Each structure stands twice: as structure tokens, then as C-alpha cells.
Chain A
Amino acid sequence: MDKTLMLSLYRDMMRIRRFEEEAARSYSRGKIGGFLHLYNGQEAVAVGAMSAVEPTDYIVATYRDHGHYLARVGDMNAAMAELFGKVGGCAKGRGGSMHYFDVAKRFMGGHAIVGGHVPIATGIAFASKYRGEPDVTLCFFGEGTANMGAFHEGLSLAALWKLPVIFICENNLYSMGTPLYRTLSVEDVAVRAKGYPMAQEIVNGDDVLEVREVIRHAAKRARTESLPILIEAKTYRFRGHSMSDPAKYRTKEEVKEWMKRDPIRLLAERIYALGIANEEQLKAIDEAAKQEVAGAVQFADESPSPDTATLFDDIYAEPDQHEQDEKVVPLEKRRQQASV
């Protein structure tokens, strides 16, 4: 087992966990507005997946996007500043928690209409194939998405055109407050792949190494054979759907049972068992993550709010010469040109 890799996965997961804990605190302090969907408990999926692909592969995520952003882009300052609605945020304070972007690093956004981003991911993969480029697109979503029409159309086109896209369903058992058995006609989302048809795989979403292996194979296949796949990662979110959700629909026992499968602890146990690091060394990683989070809060606090003069910037892309020149052509001239 690769020692550096194991520790790096541990570090990436711990960074997300500590970041999310701080986000919850800052939310309670009123520093963060709007909706805030935390990723606690699901860290192994994003971290395992990102570690398995190239930095040039595209990532498309949902509104629960902090983990994916941190695992791909890593910039905790930009992530926290975005939550604080500051200009130093990864979308200049325009997107907030649900709309993280870093196009230079091919993090193609957090998208907040359930299922709406699935055809977009298919389209990015279409572009890669159109241009003959080797890049693979990873599309993340929850099990609630599997009931949306956009999900079906996105997968259907990906299968029809054999596009290099990996659909990753993070099944955390609840679509918002409703348990899976009341919303889904099948037990496993993965079986939906059969009808397209498309390869499918079910993976323990709390095991970062297993996630990594499965995504690695899928990416290789997508890259060399240009084929899509639907992967279902079984996992659990430790908190409510969002900060406004106390998650009373789950029993304490259930949560406790799943907490035993805490992906970070699972990896730590493996690290100890293999003698890769001791408790003290992992604690140091944790401490570093906490320090980094503290720094990110400071950065976000100090980052200025967006200038209100920029309110109308970036609605349309420049150059937009067409809007400019019409103002200066006098009506008389146009009247002369008119064919009566």
C-alpha cells in the first residue's frame, strides 16, 4: 500500500471534515447566508474519486459541492470566502455555497437544480469526444436525482453516443427528508443503468480506497473505450440535508450505527493496521487542517464584499460590440436605408 497516497487521502478527507464543521459554526454566527449543505460523512466519495482521475478531467457537482471542490481545487480560502459572500470567493461571491466554480481547474460548478447538471456533464463529455481529447467527465449527484427526467435524458444520450462520462450517485439514503424506500422504486440506483444499457457498479462509499479503485477502472475504460458508467456509492450524511434541517426523520440509533462507518476513521484504522503512521502523526494532520481552516476564516473575514458597482458585470460576455454601435447610428440614416 502506498504510504504517501494513504496519508494524502487522509489529509484531504480531514480538510473537508474540518472545513464543514467550521462552515456550520460560521453559519450559526450569521457569517454565511442562504442554504448550506454539508458533506460530513461522505468525504470518501469525493476524495477517492478525485484521487483516481487526472487533473485535466472535468468535474461537475451538485449544490453539496464543498467536498468535491476541496478535493479537486483545494483552495480553502476561496471556498470559505465564497460562503462569506466575499470577492475573494471562488465565484467572487456570486454563487455561494451551492455554486462553487474553478473553470481553470476544470471544476465546472456546483449546480442546484436537482438533475439539471446531468445533461451538462454529458455535453462536456460530448465536447471531449468531438475534439478527440482524452478527458473524462465525472458527474456527481444524489440518489434523489435518479427520479428526475434530466437524469434519464443525460444518461440516455451518454449511452447512445458512447461518451466518456462517469456518473457517480452518492446514495446517502435520504432525498432531503424522505427515505429512499419511499422515493425510489428500486433498491439500488445502479440498476437503472441496465436499461440504457450502461455499465454499473456499486461501491462502499465510506471506503476511500474502494471508491478510488472503482473510479480508476471506470476512468481508464472511459478514456480508452469512450464508454459511460453509472457508479453508486452507498454512504451516509452525518448532518441534516441543510443547516435548516434537524434531521428528525432519522433515529439516533441509525445515525450512531452509520457513524461507526465514518470514512475518516475507517481509513485511520487501516493506516494504523498497516503501520503507516501512528495516532500522533494523524493528529498532526488534523491539527494542520484546523489551522488551515482558521486561516481560511481569517482570509474570508478580511476579503472585501463585492463592490456594488460590479452588480451588472458578467451577465453577458464581452465583446458585445453589437449593443454599443446601435446607439450611435442616427435614425435619419436608417430611415434613408429603409426600403419603402
Chain B
Amino acid sequence: MRELTYREALREAMAEEMERDERVFLMGEEVGHYNGAYKVSEGLLDRFGERRVVDTPIAETGFAGVGIGAAMVGLRPIIEFMTWNFSLCAYDQLVNNAAKLRYMSGGQITLPIVFRGPGGAAHQLAAQHSQAVESLYAYVPGLKVVAPSTPADAKGLLKTAIRDENPVIFIEGEVLYGHKGPVQDEEYQVPLGRGDVKRAGQDVTIVAWSKMVQAALDAAAELAKDGIELEVLDPRTLRPLDDRMIFDSVKKTNRCIIVEEGWPFAGLGAEIAYRIMKEGFDYLDAPVVRVTGEDVPMPYAKNLEHEVFPGVEKIVRAVRAVLYS
């Protein structure tokens, strides 16, 4: 199988869907002539022209709203946020309009629209450019939230998101763009709402998504040396959540750790932990543990920033804790 970067996989997904359906267009800051701030849309302007690859001014509220309006009348926009940090300027559009128009209209409006871009911290970008926003969006009924961890998932999920009839919040891992992975030649899709077992094991279940999947796999490799086998689950879609997969795994391992980049308070992991407790209380041999980013705006200094990340070391420590070893 060929290898593609996460970035190339996303680009291929958009190109294939734009080829397939003329209603699909890409809009955002620097997506066209600049070829994308992170080069995800590189070459798309040459291929599809200015009508379908639309550069915008720095106006998140404006172009998010334009996408919503266009989707209301049948187009299928892909709206790129240069990073998800800037989506907060358009939070009103996403929460009050995209998520609610269908319900408020008694089902008259359909909104097939994808909002996508990089999320999470990269390296030393400080507080305003380093945050994981998935909990902010997964909170809202009417939105779907996707956060792929591999090139193959990124491509398959983005294609499905573009074909979905609902607003999809598609959060790419900023530090994953250059990661390579196998991507099949044939066209394929990955369904929303279905997680994936990234590593099978019987001792402890780890739930992680986006770039935290790799941290979980690295922790698993280290613990395997001691004969501890982690089962690493990647929900891939955070809303709707594949909680069946998580329950089934926990029933076998009886232990679960949730790893997320975001802040701990009211984060997604809290909801997942609650669901496990509610559904699988009798199966648990230890409390569900969360490994999260620290509860602090991201500092700039390298050593401080490192303290904030929920890395391999913290995961290993959590595993040993739930195993009481």
C-alpha cells in the first residue's frame, strides 16, 4: 500500500469530492493562491479554479456565515479555519446557526457543511494558538465532531463528512500534517460514529483521539516490555461517540484511561468516564482515570509547555496506577 502524509490524504479527500460533486467548494483564508497556510489545499486552485477554491479576507464570522447560507440552499461548502483557535470568532455562527437551524425550522433546513482546520497545540505558540476545542463543539446537539489520528482515517472521514447532510466539525491535528501512513489506492470512506481499535490488548483500555493516539501507542510499546498489554481505542468521531466499542473493551480489560489534549474541567473525557461508569460500573476494577492537558492557558516557555502536555510518561504512570502496580 502507498504511503501518504496526513496532509496529502486530506487534500486527496477534498479533490475527490470536488471532482465528484460540483456543489462542493472550499473557502477560507489563504486556501487558494497561497496554497493553504498548512498546504493542505496545495494545488486545488490550479485544478478547480477560483469559483470553487475561494480565498477570503480574515473574517471568520463572515465566511462561516456565508458557508452556512450557501449550505441552506443546497451547496456543500468546506469552510477552512486557518486554525480552530480562530473559529472562536465564529462560535456564534457555528453554535447558534449551523447547529440549530434544522431543529428551529422544524426540519425544513438541511445543512451539509464541513468546517475543518488544524486543532490542538503545536510547539511554543502560546495560549491563544494552543488549544484543543473539541469539547466546546461536541457539547452542542446538532453538530458532529470528528478528529482523525491517521492519514487513512483522515481521508476516509473527510470524504464521509463532506457527503454528510449535517454540519461537521472536522478537527485535524496540527502536528500530524507531516505524519505518514498507509492509504489504500481505491476509493473508500470511513463512517462517522464508528471508532477503531488501534492496538489490541487485554490489560487496560486507553481511549485517545487525534495526536494523543500516537502517545497512547508509544506508551503501549513501552509497557509491553513489562508484559502489560494496552488496548488503544480511537473513537475518531467524538459526536456521535462510539461508546459501544468502549464499553465492550472495558468489559474485557476492567480498566480504562482516557487521554485528551484539552483541559480537564468539563472536558470530553469526563463525559466518556461518566458513560463507562453508568454502563459498566460492575465491570470496573479501578476508577476510570483521565490524562489531560493541565488546567492552565498554554505557556510559551518550552519547559513549561512540556509540563502541560499529556505525554507518554503521564500515560504510563496512569496505567500503573489503575493496575495498582
Q: Which residues of A does B touch, CB under 8 Å?
A: 58, 60, 89-95, 99, 101-104, 108-109, 111, 113, 116-128, 130-131, 149-150, 153-154, 156-157, 160, 313-323, 325-327, 329-331, 334-335, 337-340
Contacts and interface: CB of A to CB of B under 8 A. Distances in A.
A102 B75 CA distance: 19
Contact of B96 (A116, A124, A160, A315): A116
Contacts of B111: 317
Interface stretch (B13-21, B34-42, B238-246): B238-246
B191 A326 contact: yes
B193 A326 contact: yes
Given A109-B104, A316-B142, 4 more contacts: A92-B107, A316-B102, A320-B166, A323-B240
Q: Lowest 10 CB-CB distances: which A-B pairs, in order? A: A123-B69, A119-B65, A153-B62, A92-B106, A314-B107, A123-B66, A326-B194, A317-B165, A101-B105, A338-B197
A116 B63 contact: no
Contacts of A123: 65-72
A158 B51 CA distance: 15
Contacts of B107: 92, 313-314, 317
B301 interface: no
Interface of B: 25, 51, 56-57, 59, 61-75, 92-93, 96-97, 101-112, 141-142, 144, 160, 164-166, 191-200, 237, 240, 242, 244-245, 248-249
Contacts of B198: 338-339
A330 B245 CA distance: 8
B284 to A, nearest CB: 17
Contacts of A153: 59, 61-63, 65
A226 to B, nearest CB: 14
Contacts of B70: 123-124, 126-127, 130
A119 B77 CA distance: 14
A228 to B, nearest CB: 13
Given A119-B93, A317-B110, A329 B194 contact: yes
B72 A108 contact: yes
Nearest to A91: B106
A125 B242 CA distance: 38
Given A322-B191, A340-B199, A157 B108 contact: no
Nearest to A112: B96
A124 B195 CA distance: 35
Nearest to A119: B65
A118 B56 CA distance: 17
B75 A149 contact: no
A150 B109 contact: no
A339 B323 CA distance: 25
A70 B157 CA distance: 43
A313 B69 CA distance: 22
Nearest to A94: B106
Contacts of B166: 316-317, 320
B75 A317 contact: no
Contacts of B96: 113, 116
B245 A109 contact: no
A317 B102 contact: yes
B65 A122 contact: yes
Nearest to B246: A331
A99 B108 CA distance: 12
B74 A127 contact: yes
Nearest to A60: B69
A119 B245 contact: no
Contacts of A323: 192-193, 240
B92 to A, nearest CB: 6
A153 B141 CA distance: 26
B141 to A, nearest CB: 5
Nearest to B96: A113
Contacts of A116: 65, 92-93, 96-97
